[in-house]
């Protein structure tokens, strides 16, 4: 039996090769757009609830640029940053203001009124010291009254979804993606093997073979890490992008944070 339930985002790695370029395309089609259609509802609510006259936005781990486009459409001057060059090439179709960098060392002197980091990208940081480092990097580029908007997976979804025996499968006319996952409970590490193929712009078929890992963090660990970085959570929103909560035994699917100084 093939699973129709997607593991939460499998995005940013740092390889710059044909395989990952193909994955960036397939990811955008199979997961990126699907997740964004759900998260835009939360973003819209938060943007309206916390208005700002300062229209500067930084999207950290921007992936294929959907969030940058969302803010740009609302009058923000948006910049996207990602460690993956293939992801940035996809993002360039939506936003030309892009930079390649690790989100633990953001290369900006300017400060931003809104900073986002979505698609549970922060779960890719497997060491809590790295998570605090990423939060500190954001704190340094956030205006005094700025807000940091990010989501992370609820820890319960790792044994429930990443621990499933059936792979997640998605196909289109120009791509095929399979994601087989497993969860190491003792280390709180989820592992994903991503295989498949995609047609490149030149018409050639490129094979996909990627390995990714994430760590499960509790809400308490996240809030404590924010505090050590000089930030605090103003709001924590339970977020179920794919309406999975009723089908799994988990207290939640994702946690969406609104944080500031």
pLDDT single digits (tens) 236-257:
999 888 776 566 666 778 999 9
Closest C-alpha to 78, from 100, 59, 106: 59
Nearest to 21 by CA among 148, 206, 176, 188: 206
Nearest Cα neighbor of 194 from 177, 176, 216 is 177
CATH assignment, 18-155+216-260: 3.40.50.150
| Cβ proximity of 156 and 247 under 8 Å | no
pLDDT in tens, 75-87: 999 999 998 888 8
Asked if 71 contacts 57 with a C-beta cutoff of 8 angstroms, the reply is: yes
Architecture of domain 158-214: Single Sheet (2.20)
Q: What gap in Å lies between CA 140 and CA 46, rounded to an integer?
A: 22
Dihedrals phi, psi of 15, to nearest 5 degrees: -70, 145
Domain boundaries, the chain: 18-155+216-260, 158-214
Instruction: Give pTM, 2 decimals.
Output: 0.87
How far, in Å, CA of 10 to CA of 177, rounded?
Answer: 12
């Amino acid at each position: 039996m093939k699973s129709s339930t997607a593991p939460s985002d499998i995005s940013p790695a740092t390889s710059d090769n044909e395989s990952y370029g193909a994955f960036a395309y397939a990811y955008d089609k199979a997961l990126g757009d699907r997740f964004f259609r759900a998260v835009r509802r939360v973003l819209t609510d938060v943007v309206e609830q916390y208005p700002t006259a300062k229209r500067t936005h930084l999207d950290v781990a921007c992936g294929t640029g959907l969030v940058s486009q969302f803010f740009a459409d609302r009058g923000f001057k948006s910049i996207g940053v990602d460690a993956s060059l293939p992801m940035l090439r996809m993002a360039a179709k939506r936003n030309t203001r892009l930079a390649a960098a690790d989100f633990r060392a953001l290369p900006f002197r300017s400060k931003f009124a809104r900073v986002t980091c979505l698609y549970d990208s922060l779960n890719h940081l497997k060491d809590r010291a790295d998570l605090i480092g990423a939060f500190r990097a954001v704190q340094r580029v956030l205006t005094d009254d700025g807000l940091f908007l990010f989501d992370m997976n609820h820890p319960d979804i790792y044994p429930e979804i990443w621990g499933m025996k059936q792979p997640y499968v998605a196909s289109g006319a120009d791509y095929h993606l399979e994601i087989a996952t497993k969860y190491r409970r003792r280390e709180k590490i989820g592992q994903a093997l991503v295989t498949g193929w995609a047609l490149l712009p030149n018409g050639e078929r490129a094979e996909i073979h990627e390995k990714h890992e994430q760590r499960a963090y509790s809400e308490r660990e996240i809030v404590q890490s924010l505090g050590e970085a000089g930030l605090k959570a103003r709001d924590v929103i339970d977020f179920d992008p794919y309406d999975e909560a009723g089908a799994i035994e988990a207290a939640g699917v994702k946690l969406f944070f609104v944080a500031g100084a």
